[in-house]
Amino acid sequence: MQEQWRIKELLEWTTRFFADKGMEKPRLEAEVLLARVLEKDRVFLYAHYDQPVNSQEREKYRHFIQRRLKGEPAAYIAGHKEFMSLDFKVSPAVLIPRPETELLVEKVLELAMVQNNPRICDVGTGSGAIAVSLAVYCPAAQIYASDISAAALVIARENALRHQARVQFVQGDLLAPLQAEGGFDIIVANLPYISEAEFQTLEAGIREYEPASALIAPGDGLDIYRRWLPQASQLLKDDGYLLFEIAPQQSTQALEMLEGFAEVAVIEDLAGRQRLVKARKG
């Protein structure tokens, strides 16, 4: 390698290198890692294209590249992930927030914005991405969030503090710790919905690094939702809404679970895949 490297040259070299390795978004991968090395955001990289990168920074960047090549997700290496235009801390204790889950937040916001001080519960909050985003974009709402993992809740609380979001976090299985609260206008969930068989087909970066307990559900992948649904129905106000994320192939089974609810619908994501179930308590 040459002696003098600037941000522009490092990004170009790494992008080509990642592309040769078959990475889907090589430029983005290169930017995320270099921004983490320099402890700046990605906008800084473009505003300081000609800034030199010293040998210590290059060595750290090289180490990050090696970790990425072994399959470790860039979000875990960088320690954060963007979601709903907000920056969230992540660690191997939580799933990495996915862009498709933004649809879930957007649909909840559509319902929440026309209500007065709605009470919303996010079940299985993980990093807190859903709950914190809702609190930021609908500050009038009362947001509750639960997770069974104490380690995940540490991350979620840090993210709430980072964004000055008012969220009441509780630890426990599904809605069990919120039985005394009740009366929710909206209950939202992105629970584990991947079957054991399907989990084995996922890319190595997911199987080997992300928490399996936040991904795998028994049976056809909907058994945790089947446990959650009676709890949610009990705690939901009349005319309140349920929204939850599924895998596209689960839409038929998911609809069968919602007998007795009104306005039951499956909503497609931007890629045209059936991704979100919405229902109103009649």
pTM above 0.85, yes or no: yes
CA pair distance 277, 244, nearest whole angstrom: 5
- C-alpha span between 170 and 177 (Å, rounded): 7
pLDDT confidence tier of residue 282, bands split at 50, 70 and 90: confident
Q: What is the pLDDT of residue 98?
A: 93
pLDDT in tens, 218-234: 999 999 999 999 999 99
Q: Is 213 helix (H, G, I), strand (E, B) or coil?
A: helix
Which band of pLDDT confidence, cut at 50, 70 and 90, is reported for residue 2? low
> pLDDT, tens digit, for every residue of 94-123?
999 999 999 999 999 999 999 999 999 999
pLDDT over threshold 90, residue 7: yes
87: part of which helix (H) or strand (E)? strand 86-89
- Asked whether the predicted pLDDT for residue 3 surpasses 80, the reply is no
Task: Please provide the average confidence, as pLDDT, over all residues in the chain.
Answer: 94
Is residue 1's pLDDT more than 90?
A: no
Other CB atoms within 10 A of residue 256 CB: 9
Domains by residue range for the chain, with CATH: 7-70 (1.10.8.10), 91-281 (3.40.50.150)
263-281, pLDDT tens digit by residue?
A: 999 999 988 999 999 999 9
pLDDT of 25 > 70? The answer is yes
Quote the CA–CA distance of 246 and 154 in Å, as a whole number. Answer: 26
For 96-128, letters b (16+ CB in 10 Å) and e give: bbeeebbbbbebbbebbeeeeebbbbbbbbbbb
In the predicted structure, residue 192 carries a pLDDT above the cut 60? yes
**pLDDT, tens only, 76-102:** 999 999 999 999 999 999 999 999 999
b/e map of 11-31 (b: 16 or more CB within 10 Å)? beebbeebeeeebeebeebbb
Cα–Cα distance measured from residue 256 to residue 180, given in angstroms and rounded to the nearest whole number: 29
